């Protein structure tokens, strides 16, 4: 009998230790996720995002003094070798129209570019004019190493962590734009992509019948076509075909 009791006590301790470890790791991940960006969270950004989204995503706007009052959208276009551009396409509106509007149970496919534009825009507002000018420049080859160098040398340069984060968003938007133009553009042969983040403030209730407030647009320069490792172009194309009317 004592042997059985001892075995049970050991088993309980092991389970308790495992649960304590899980809670500790989850708490640490949550802290890094909601804390201001720093060297640790930037270095662990990819696995951290994969773990936290979508189940553990924190949204403090429920408790904020003012709710979210800005609509963020991502617009993209393609250019050929002669720099002939296509029209700008609001890919956020496409995602929302196909996956959110009039859907009783909207799916997460309505969120990617909204979240990307919102997070990127939040960082761009903290950059100096010189840094924004760098991002508006055209980089056809070796784009992101050159961008990193130019941002570091710009007047009023931000911290290294913020610059790394901005470059990660720049690359992510280029990758999204690349997939989108490959899936949709037929009138030209895409050689470069360009994208812009549009922030449209909501009108105050007292001015709801008037003209909407002026939007703020962050326009980026031309970038080469870009694809992340293990990026599934076929799945992206299939999704876009479902989204388009």
Read off the pLDDT of residues 144-188 as tens digits, 9 standing for 90 and up: 999 999 999 998 878 888 999 999 999 999 999 999 999 888 899
Nearest Cα to Cα of residue 144 among 112, 115, 174: 174
Q: What is the dihedral of CA 185, 122, 214, 135, to 10 degrees?
A: -50
Tens digit of pLDDT per residue, the chain (245 long)?
Answer: 455 666 677 888 888 888 888 889 888 877 777 776 677 777 777 777 777 775 666 655 555 555 667 778 899 999 999 999 999 998 888 776 655 444 444 454 445 777 888 888 888 888 999 999 999 999 999 999 999 999 999 988 788 889 999 999 999 999 999 999 998 888 999 999 999 998 877 777 766 777 777 888 889 999 999 999 888 888 878 777 776 66
Over the chain, what is the mean pLDDT?
81
Contact 243, 92 (CB under 8 A): no
Query: In which residue are the tokens 């979508």 written?
Result: 54
0.75 exceeded by the pTM? no
Tokens of 77: 């276009």
- In angstroms, how far is the first alpha carbon of the chain from the final one? 71
SS3 120: helix
Which class for 37: exposed (0-12), middle (13-18), buried (19 or more C-beta within 10 A)?
middle
Cis preceding linkage at 45, omega within 30? no
Q: What is the dihedral of CA 100, 104, 108, 110, to 10 degrees?
A: 0
R_g over Cα of the chain: 22
């Amino acid at each position: 009998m004592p042997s059985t009791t001892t075995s049970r006590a050991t088993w309980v301790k092991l389970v308790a230790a495992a649960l304590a470890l899980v809670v500790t790791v989850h708490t640490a991940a949550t802290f890094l996720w909601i804390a201001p960006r720093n060297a640790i969270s930037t270095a662990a950004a990819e696995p951290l995002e994969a773990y936290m989204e979508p189940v553990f995503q924190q949204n403090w706007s429920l408790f904020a003094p003012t709710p979210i009052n800005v609509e963020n959208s991502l617009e993209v276009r393609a250019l050929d070798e002669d720099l002939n551009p296509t029209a700008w396409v609001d890919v956020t509106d496409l995602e929302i129209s196909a996956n959110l509007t009039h859907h009783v149970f909207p799916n997460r496919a309505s969120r990617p570019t909204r979240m990307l534009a919102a997070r990127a825009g939040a960082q761009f507002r903290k950059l100096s004019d010189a840094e924004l000018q760098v991002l508006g420049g055209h980089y056809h080859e070796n784009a992101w190493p050159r961008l990193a160098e130019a941002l570091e040398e710009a007047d009023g340069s931000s911290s290294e962590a913020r610059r790394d984060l901005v470059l990660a968003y720049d690359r992510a938007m280029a990758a999204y734009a690349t997939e989108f133009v490959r899936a949709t553009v037929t009138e030209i042969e895409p050689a470069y992509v360009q994208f812009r983040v549009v922030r449209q403030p909501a009108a105050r209730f007292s001015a709801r019948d008037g003209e909407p407030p002026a939007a703020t647009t962050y326009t980026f320069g031309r970038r080469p076509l870009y694809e992340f490792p293990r990026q599934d172009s076929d799945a992206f194309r299939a999704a876009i075909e479902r989204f388009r009317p």
